Amino acid sequence: MPVHRPGTARRGPLAAAGILLSALALLLTAPGTAEAAHTPARGTATMGMGVAAHDGVGGPPGATLAVQTEGVDTSSHNGNVAWSTLWNSGVKWAYVKATEGTYYTNPYFAQQYNGSYNVGMIRGAYHFATPDTTSGATQADYFVDHGGGWSQDGRTLPGALDIEWNPYGAACYGLSQSEMVSWIADFTDEYRARTGRDAVIYTATSWWTQCTGNSAAFGSTDPLWIARYNTDPGTLPAGWGYYTMWQYTSSGPTVGDHSRFNGAYDRLQALANG
C-alpha cells in the first residue's frame, strides 16, 4: 500500500494541469515576452496607429467656424481603395503611404496614389519615419525616390513626414529630445532641397512634447497635420498657431482615417500649388 508522507499532496491529473498552466503563465509574463508578441512587423506602421492608445478617443468632432475640406489617408492595409465612393461622399483630398524607413514601399501605392488623382482628388504621399534606423536625410531621399516627390501640377500636395510613436519599440526611438529635433530637421532640409517644398509634419501634441521637448523649430516653415481623435484638435505643438490638417478619426466610412483640411477647397489648391 502506498504511504502518504505528511506535508505532501497527491498530484492527480487536474493538479498536474494546473502546474503546466502556471509554468506557461510565468513564461508569457517573462520580461520582453509580451512586448515581442505584440510588436508588429516592420513596414506595417500607419498614420495614427498610436493615437488612440496614447491620447484616447472622444468625439465626434464639434462644429467649426471655418469651412473645412474632407480628406483621407491610406496605406497597404486598405488594399485597392474605392476612390469613386470616397469622392461621391465628399472626400476631396488624400495622402497615401509611400515609404517607411529605407526598407519598405507600399505595394498598393500606384492604385491609391493614381486612383485618388484619377477621380479628381488632390493627392500627396507620406513617409513613416523610423529615426532609429537611418538618418533623416537618407530617409527623405528614399521617400522622394519612391513616390514622395512633388510636381507643380496643381493636384499634388507636398510630402508629409509621419513622426509619431514607435510601433516597434521605445516611443522616441531611443533618441534624446535634441537628437529627435535634429533628425526631423535633417529630413525636412533634405526634402526641401530635393523638391523645393516644405514637408507637412504629421504628429500628435503629446508625442511631440515627449520626444522633441515641444520644439517650436518647425512652426514657421512646415504645415502641421495634427492627430487627435476627439471633439477638437486640442492644444497644438509649440511654434504652430494653427493646424493645416486635422486627423480626427481612425474609424471613418470606406477608409478609416479621415481628416479635415483647415480651409475651403481653393486653399487646398493653393497648398498644392505652393
Catalytic residues: 73, 162, 164
CB 263 within 8 A of CB 239: no
DSSP character for 190?
H
**Contact partners, residue 56, CB within 8 Å, separation at least 6:** 229, 230
Angle 136-143/177-195 helices, nearest 10 degrees? 40
Distances (CA, A) of 173 to 7, 97, 180, 204: 53, 20, 9, 16
Distances (CA, A) of 160 to 58, 88, 96, 211: 25, 25, 9, 19
CB 248 within 8 A of CB 69: no
Identity at 127, one-letter amino acid code = H
CB 234 within 8 A of CB 210: no
Q: Which three cell numbers stand for residue 159?
A: 510630402
My answer on whether omega of the bond before 60 falls inside 30° of 0, hence cis, is: yes
Task: Choose among 138, 148, 146, 223: nearest CA to 186.
Answer: 138
The span from the CA of 198 to the CA of 206, in Å, is 23
β-pair type (160-162, 245-249):
unpaired
